[in-house]
Amino acid sequence: MQIIRATDYDHMSRMAANIISAQVIMKPDCVLGLATGSTPIGTYEQLIRWYEKGDLDFSRVRSINLDEYKGLSPENDQSYRYFMNEHLFRHINIKLENTNVPDGLEEDSEKACAAYNEIIRQSGGIDLQLLGLGHNGHIGFNEPSEEFIKETHCVDLAQSTIDANSRFFASMDLVPKQAYTMGIQTIMQAKKIVVVVSGKSKAEIVKAAFFGPCTPKVPASILQLHRDVVLVGDGEALSLVP
Ligand code: GLP
């Protein structure tokens, strides 16, 4: 694992965006695994700036997002499809038909997951996967569990995740309790993984995930077994890293 210590959030975002842009330049038809959450927003802003300058071309890039809330439509401003359109896709020249997010409106979980697994299979595999880190160690929406679940599945969100997400919804009843997420095996099969972490509140979980035992109770800890992981964090998030 490589660790990049950034001075602050902006620096972290530029470093992560540098790695992603190198991927796009080296392989213009690459498959990017993309993430939501507040942490990657600065990374996306930086990619947009470089696109606007003419330094990046996304016209042949395909993307596969990690997860989506079950029950939310793409028009719902809290859906991850909406997030991706707003924070990245509509600002760059990626073709919308080349972007993929699980279908939150598909009520049949088996069908939704099988369809997403097929999209992943047909893509030929993810070249670079961008990840954030949940406070309980989740990646995508792979919550702490007794086992690592391999492929796309429907998860019951942990209470701590529901609580963390509640700040974005008008009332607790509106916070989704389930989500579709890419599985751990799919994430681990990405050729390269970039994890972005920022802020003091992530320091404990960064230490547990990257320096503690490898266990499904801390899903991100499996990343220790991947051969090409870059952890990009600011000083606060990396403050407990040995
Ligand atoms: C959500 C997303 C994750 C993300 C996490 C952390 O649960 N499903 O992919 O990593 O939030 O979000 P933040 O970056 O806002 O801390």
Q: How far is the CA of 182 from the centre of ligand 1 (A)?
A: 14
Q: What is the pLDDT of residue 68?
A: 98
Whether the predicted pLDDT of 61 surpasses 90: yes
Q: What is the pLDDT of residue 22?
A: 98
Q: What is the pLDDT of residue 164?
A: 87
* Pocket flag, ligand 1, residue 199 (CB < 6 Å): no
Q: How far is the CA of 35 from the centre of ligand 1 (A)?
A: 8
CA atoms within 13 A on the CB side of 147: 7
Task: State the pLDDT confidence band at 65, using cuts at 50, 70 and 90.
Answer: very high
Helical residues (DSSP H) of 106-147, grouped into ranges = 109-123
Whole-number percent of the chain with pLDDT over 90: 95
Q: How far is the CA of 132 from the centre of ligand 1 (A)?
A: 6
Q: How far is the CA of 168 from the centre of ligand 1 (A)?
A: 12
Q: What is the pLDDT of residue 92?
A: 98
User: In the predicted model, what is the mean pLDDT of residues 11-39?
Assistant: 98
Q: Exactly one of 67, 68, 127, 234 is catalytic; which is it? A: 67
Measured CA to CA in angstroms, residue 62 lies from 38, 94, 125, 182, 199 at distances of: 22, 8, 11, 16, 30
**Alpha carbons 34 and 135: distance in angstroms, whole number:** 19
Q: What is the pLDDT of residue 37?
A: 95
Phi, psi angle pair for 40, to nearest 5° = -75, 0
Active site residue 67: yes
Q: Exactly one of 106, 143, 153, 234 is catalytic; which is it? A: 143
* Pocket flag, ligand 1, residue 134 (CB < 6 Å): yes
Helix or strand or coil: residue 114? Answer: helix
* Pocket flag, ligand 1, residue 39 (CB < 6 Å): yes
- Which protein residue's CA is at the shortest distance from atom 9 of ligand 1? 140
Q: Which two tokens stand for residue 80?
A: 């991850």
Q: Give strand ranges (E) for 54-101.
A: 62-65, 67-69, 99-100
Measured CA to CA in angstroms, residue 81 lies from 15, 28, 86, 113, 146 at distances of: 25, 23, 9, 16, 29
CB 141 within 8 A of CB 179: yes
Q: Which of 12, 133, 157 to mutate to test the pocket of ligand 1 (most atoms within 8 A of CB)?
A: 133
CB 67 within 8 A of CB 102: yes
Whether the predicted pLDDT of 242 surpasses 90: no
Query: pLDDT by residue (tens digit) across 164-201?
Result: 889 989 999 999 999 999 999 999 999 999 999 999 99
Query: pLDDT by residue (tens digit) across 199-241?
Result: 999 999 999 999 999 999 999 999 999 999 999 999 999 999 9
- Which protein residue's CA is at the shortest distance from atom 1 of ligand 1? 37
User: Residue 84 burial (CB < 10 Å; 0-12/13-18/19+)?
Assistant: buried
Q: Exactly one of 106, 127, 138, 153 is catalytic; which is it? A: 138
Q: Exactly one of 136, 142, 153, 234 is catalytic; which is it? A: 136
Q: Give strand ranges (E) for the chain.
A: 2-6, 31-34, 62-65, 67-69, 99-100, 128-131, 153-156, 178-181, 192-197, 229-234
Q: CA 70 from chain center: how many Å?
A: 17
* Pocket flag, ligand 1, residue 36 (CB < 6 Å): yes
Query: pLDDT by residue (tens digit) across 79-131?
Result: 999 999 999 999 999 999 999 999 999 999 999 999 999 999 999 999 999 99
